[in-house]
């Protein structure tokens, strides 16, 4: 769900991806519903690709938004995004206790609160899809199993590859093309 929602540098608010053109995206503002083009220079970032730093790992934004929703019982945030920095850090500590206080700035927390309020007011309340929940549960339960499968796959691939065949790399092909071109010119 958050993969379709974009934050665009230089344009306030959040945008829903509507369509893709040849050199642009067509996006719709969640604030007023206006459709506008977003070009490559605008630097659009999907909310699904954003994560919050913690002391041990990065937590996807969708999970953090779910925690905010649980804290606020599905309503808008009680804290004002324009609050002082200490109040914002205290609020973030209640939502995500182990967030990295050195790398998560008050401006990031303000943005998180603004985004959450905007998503709630536009009727988007499901931040984590069922597929993401299943993947998260599988990742936490079976990390060792996944590592073992990767080892098995790597071993099988290594056995199938021929050991003594010489492979031409793209560099050797490019070097040969350069020599050929020089010999054709009489150099």
User: Does the residue 166 lie in any domain?
Assistant: no
68 and 16 share one domain: no
- Whether residue 165 is contained in a domain is answered as no
Q: What is the pLDDT of residue 131?
A: 59
Residue 126 pLDDT: 87
| 23 lies in the same domain as 36 | yes
Per run of 10 residues, the mean pLDDT along the chain (length 187 residues) is 84 91 91 91 91 95 95 92 95 95 95 94 83 52 48 45 44 43 46
User: Residue 22: its pLDDT value, please?
Assistant: 86
Distance CA 5, CA 46 (A): 6
Structural domain contains residue 173: no
My answer on whether 42 and 102 are in the same domain is: no
Q: Which two tokens stand for residue 174?
A: 């490019």
pLDDT for the residue 88: 96
Kindly state the tokens that stand for 118.
Answer: 């905007």
For residues 105, 108, 109 and 113, what is the CA-based torsion angle, rounded to 10 degrees?
170
Q: Report the distance separating Cα 109 and Cα 77, nearest Å.
A: 12
Per-residue model confidence (pLDDT) at position 141: 52
Q: Does one domain contain both 56 and 124?
A: yes
- Asked if 37 and 77 sit in the same domain, the reply is no
- Helices 106-121 and 85-95 meet at what angle, rounded to 10? 60
Number of Cα atoms under 13 Å in the Cβ half of residue 106: 11
Residues 7 and 68 in one domain: no
d(CA 120, CA 124): 5
Asked if residue 118 and residue 86 are part of one domain, the reply reads yes
* 3-class DSSP assignment, residue 15: strand
Residues 57, 120 share a domain: yes
Burial 14-43 (b: 16+ CB within 10 A, else e): bbbbeeeeeebbebbbbeeeeeeebeeebe
Query: How many domains does one find in the chain?
Result: 2
pLDDT of residue 159: 45
Looking at residue 138, its pLDDT comes to 52
53: helix, coil or strand?
Answer: strand
pLDDT attached to residue 112:
95
Range of the domain at 8: 2-47
Asked if residue 181 belongs to a domain, the reply is no
Cβ atoms of 5 and 46 within 8 Å: the answer is yes
pLDDT at 173 (0 to 100): 43
CATH of the domain at 26: 2.30.30.730
The CATH number for 59's domain is 1.10.10.1650
pLDDT of residue 96: 95
| C-alpha R_g of the chain | 24
Say if 60 falls within a structural domain: yes
């Amino acid at each position: 769900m958050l993969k379709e929602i974009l934050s665009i540098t230089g344009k306030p608010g959040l945008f829903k991806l509507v369509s893709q053109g040849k050199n642009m995206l067509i996006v719709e503002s969640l604030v007023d519903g206006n459709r506008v083009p977003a070009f490559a220079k605008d630097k659009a970032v999907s909310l699904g690709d954003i994560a919050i730093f913690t002391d041990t790992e990065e937590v996807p934004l969708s999970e953090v938004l779910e925690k905010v929703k649980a804290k606020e019982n599905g309503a808008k945030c009680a804290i004002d995004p324009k609050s002082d920095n200490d109040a914002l850090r205290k609020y973030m500590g209640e939502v995500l206790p182990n967030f990295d206080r050195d790398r998560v700035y008050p401006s990031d927390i303000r943005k998180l609160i603004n985004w959450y309020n905007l998503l709630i007011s536009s009727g988007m309340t499901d931040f984590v899809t069922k597929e993401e929940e299943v993947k998260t549960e599988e990742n936490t339960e079976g990390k060792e199993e996944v590592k073992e499968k990767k080892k098995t796959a790597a071993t099988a691939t290594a056995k199938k590859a021929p050991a003594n065949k010489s492979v031409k790399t793209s560099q050797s092909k490019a070097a040969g093309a350069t020599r050929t071109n020089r010999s054709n010119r009489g150099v």
